[in-house]
Chain A
């Protein structure tokens, strides 16, 4: 992700913790999408707080990818389609 106009908030919020859910929505890092934009998209699609979206965006940026949501397949596909519509590299993975 491009670090242009990117607000970086430190937050103690952890990522989704429902490890029993079978499917995960994963966002992959890319060198094009702006960090601020990624954060806004996460907020809009999942309804997360700005702080949580910023934390997830930073995880994507620093780790190359991050799980941003866990749940059932049908709902996960809906979220991935919205992320693709926003031109983010996202996929659905079966949780281990």
Chain B
């Protein structure tokens, strides 16, 4: 996959192989953790986070995943050669990627492993997850670098 900035201030993704499309489709699937509820656990009961804030966060986080999934599916179905992340949807992409990385970290604890490369991981599923996480991190860094988020 080739990634790079556009003259319009966005970011261009050019998937070149089947695996490139699959990893883009995995973003929403990897973002499976109930993040909104996990944040509620940081608050005391008096804040009524579950009743007031969690539903809003669920809607927001769900919209991020849905947007990315729809864009990638549509691009693949219509044989688009590239996907453009514009300023307008950079926050949605960044949020979906962040959800995916938070979910993977919650599942695999890569941050505590002190790994130098994916080859340090013996288990195939975890190694694959590590590589996806690394790709998501790269994409997030490029979004921050080339597109103004927040």
Chain A residues in the interface with B (C-beta under 8 A): 2, 4-5, 28, 30-34, 36-37, 40-41, 43-44, 77, 80-81, 84-87, 89-92
Contact = CB atoms under 8 A, between A and B. Distances in A.
Interface in B36-54: 36, 39, 42-44, 47, 53
Contacts of B94: 37
A92 B105 contact: no
Contacts of B57: 84-85
Given A2-B137, A85-B57, A34 B111 contact: no
Interface size for chain B: under 10, 10 to 19, 20 to 34, or 35 or more residues? Answer: 20 to 34
Interface in B8-49: 35-36, 39, 42-44, 47
Nearest to A36: B144
Interface string B92-118: 001100110110010000111000000
Interface of B: 35-36, 39, 42-44, 47, 53, 56-57, 60, 94-95, 98-99, 101-102, 105, 110-112, 137, 140-141, 144-145, 149-150
Nearest to B95: A87
B144 A5 contact: yes
A87 B137 contact: no
Contacts of B149: 37, 40
B141 A44 contact: no
Given A40-B150, A81-B53, A33 B98 contact: yes
Contact of A32 (B43, B102, B144, B145): B102
A30 B39 CA distance: 13
B99 A87 contact: yes
